[in-house]
């Protein structure tokens, strides 16, 4: 591994583990060069790579700081928010707000937290005919999405993504100002032709990204 790759890996490891927190100031390039016994140009290359990856911010005359990382979710997958947040080394928590049955449908609303910050407001409907075991689950300790991924595989899904301003109710739940930019993810999943669940998740736009990676098909 090259020197610049080692420096980048060391700093990234501290960021991922939480040893370095968002807003923490990093040592200067001169200090890092002395610490690692290499040229300043090598450190500069490592810092440029960290900046390009979105892990640090470089402020003119002020230095380099750990960036406030967004949660990233692949658009073409059905993610488990608990795993996404815990993979970042942060504490995940689910808070159920309501649970009601309406005929053949079970309705659950709640909040997904990253640490003490409400990241997303969720409103979910579960088809009882397809997932009868859901009636025995309170969803107090586990989010419906996490529970569904563990209990019933889906075979098809449809996503719809929109950018909107938070309504008064959504803003109050998320602890943000009304009309703050949010990402709305609406998803429906099926098992064969049977509906499984429909969910509407309102994510804080300043903390959540939806991304996807594509590989070209071989010719």
> What tens digit of pLDDT does each residue of 42-66 get?
999 989 888 877 788 888 888 999 8
Angle, alpha carbons 154-156-162 (nearest 5°)? 110
Question: Picking from 13-17, 33-37, 134-138, 170-174, which range would have the lowest pLDDT averaged per residue?
Answer: 13-17
| Whole-number Å distance between alpha carbons of 64 and 21 | 13
Model confidence over 92-150: pLDDT tens digits?
Answer: 999 999 999 988 899 999 999 988 899 999 999 999 999 999 999 999 999 999 999 88
- pTM confidence score: 0.63
Listed residue (41, 119, 31, 133) closest to 82, CA to CA: 119
Q: 163 - beta bridge partners?
A: 183
How far lies 90's CA from each of 19, 99, 156, 207, in Å? Answer: 12, 27, 30, 13
Measure CA 108 to chain center: 20
Q: Is the pLDDT of residue 73 over 60?
A: no
| Whole-number Å distance between alpha carbons of 161 and 182 | 10
Model confidence over 184-216: pLDDT tens digits?
Answer: 889 899 987 889 999 999 998 877 665 555 455
Cβ–Cβ under 8 Å, residues 114 and 71? yes
Q: What are the chain's domains?
A: 3-66 (1.10.10.10), 71-211 (3.40.1410.10)
């Amino acid at each position: 591994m090259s020197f610049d790759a080692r420096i980048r890996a060391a700093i990234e490891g501290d960021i991922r583990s939480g040893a370095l927190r968002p807003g923490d100031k990093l040592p200067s390039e001169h200090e890092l060069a002395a610490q690692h016994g290499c040229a300043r140009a090598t450190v500069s290359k490592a810092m440029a790579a960290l900046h390009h990856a979105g892990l640090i911010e470089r402020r003119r005359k002020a230095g380099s700081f750990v960036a406030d990382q967004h949660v990233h979710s692949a658009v073409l997958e059905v993610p488990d928010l608990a795993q996404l947040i815990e993979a970042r080394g942060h504490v995940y928590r689910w808070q159920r707000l309501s649970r009601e049955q309406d005929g053949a449908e079970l309705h659950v609303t709640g909040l997904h937290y990253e640490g003490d910050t409400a990241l997303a407001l969720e409103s979910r409907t579960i088809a009882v005919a397809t997932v009868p075991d859901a009636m025995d689950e309170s969803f107090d300790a586990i989010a419906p999405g996490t529970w569904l991924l563990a209990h019933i595989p889906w075979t098809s899904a449809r996503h719809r993504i929109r950018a909107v301003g938070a309504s008064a109710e959504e803003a109050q739940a998320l602890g943000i100002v009304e009309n703050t930019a949010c990402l709305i993810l609406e998803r429906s999943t099926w098992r064969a032709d049977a509906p499984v669940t429909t969910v509407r998740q309102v994510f804080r736009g300043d903390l959540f990204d939806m991304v996807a990676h594509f590989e070209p098909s071989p010719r």
